[in-house]
Structure formats: C-alpha cells, structure tokens
Amino acid sequence: MATLKLYLLLFSIPALLFQDVMSTSFTFQNNCGYTVWPGLISNANLPMMPSTGFELQNGASRTLEAPTSWGGNMWARTNCMTDSSGKFSCVTGDCGGQLECNGVGGVPPKTLTEFTLQDSDGKDTYDISNVDGFNVPVSITPQGGSDCTSPSCATNINSLCPQELQEKGPDGSVVACKSACEAFNTDLYCCRGAYESTDACVNANKDQPYPKIFKDACPQAYSYAHDDQSSTFTCVGANYVITYCP
C-alpha cells in the first residue's frame, strides 16, 4: 500500500507542475469592417507578450500565448499607415509610431481590455475600460474555464459622442470619443483630490452626464476610475477571445 501511494504521488507531480505553468491563450478576432492594429502592453516588471502589436484585417484572427501569471492591457489602433519616409503611425491608439508597441502604451482615447492572470487564488481578473475613452467596440469571451462572464462593449460610442469629447480623423469623421477626464482634466472627472477615494469618485461621477453616456452605452465597461462593482469580472482556467466590433 505504501508503495502504491508513493507511485501515485510521483505520478501526480508532473501534472501539478504542468498546471502551475499552463499558459493562457488570447485570440484576437476582427469583425470590424476595417483593419485594426491591436497593441499590447504588460504591467510593470512582467514579461512582454510574444507580440506587442500587429495588423489584423477585417475577418482575420491571431492567437498569442501569454506568459504565466501575465498582466497587462490590449487595445485596437485604427487608421494606421506607413508614410513615404517609412514612419508608421495610427490616428487612434498610437504607441510611439511603431507596429510593435514594445512597452509603450497607446495614446488615448482608446478602448482597453485589461487582464491579471492567475492571482493568488488562481483566478483571472479582467475588464473592459472606457476610462481612457473609446475608439472601437470590443468583447471578451472566455473559452472553457469556470465561473466566467463574457463582458461586452458592443455599442459604437463614437456615434453618440458629444462634440466636446469628439476626436476627429483627417477626413473630419469622429474616430474616437474622449473621456471627460481627458477632455477637461478636472479633479471630479479624474477622481483626484477630494474625489480620490472610491466612495467619493463613484458618488460624484455615477450621475454625471459624460460618464453616463459611456455607462448607458456599455454598462459592463468601466466609465470612470473606481467603477469596479459592475465592471470587473473573474474566471478560472480559461482562454480568451478578444473580438473587435462584436
């Protein structure tokens, strides 16, 4: 009996080790009627993803394997081009004028998807955020896993964006919608100073007209800092599909 128990213990160790280092895959799917260029950045002191920026044409998809316990965010860049001098740039979400973002975050306004994988409880935490504004509709769909939610911000907020928040492209069309914090830089909208605490920020912003535009359009997404209660989700053991224009 002791020999059998020892055998079973030794047999289970590789499986446990494999479970601890099992990676998470992210599949990026572009359902928009135009090309997007996803950008990715890791949280401080964490390794980069295998790619930190790439082109994704209409109808195309690409899958990346995240490092173990990865954390960071992704966004879609739009209206990107390479000029006659070879310089690459994007009208929205640009990350330093380069295809691979290489640790450079995207310029707001941009719609973010944010992840922290395999925390101390083994859970993934994730959200969609319009705190940096909005440029492209997006959804997060866990594949497999348990106790998961599939949040979505499918409404094109650009079409609802008030003039004072509009970001326009070279042709004059609205390509993104700024957050009130970015547009006005006030303590109220940026949750600073007297509004820094969670309670003060939420109580002051929940009925403000500008955050309300974002929240009404995408109730599962952050519309301002500390908007955690309705906008943060967890999952265990899943892979994820990030769909632009779901």
| Structural domains for the chain | 23-244 (2.60.110.10)
Residue 40, classed as helix, strand or coil, is strand
Residue 7, classed as helix, strand or coil, is helix
Query: CA 160, CA 150: separation in Å to the nearest integer?
Result: 24
Confidence of residue 42 (pLDDT cuts 50, 70, 90): very high
Q: Are 144 and 238 in contact (CB under 8 A)?
A: yes
> 3 to each of 6, 8, 9, 10, 14, how far by Cα in Å?
5, 9, 10, 11, 18
Residue 17: its pLDDT value, please?
40
Residue 117, classed as helix, strand or coil, is coil
Average pLDDT over residues 42-67: 97
- pLDDT digit string, tens, across residues 23-32: 899 999 999 9
- pLDDT digit string, tens, across residues 78-118: 999 999 888 999 999 999 999 999 999 999 999 999 999 99
Residue 22: its pLDDT value, please?
64
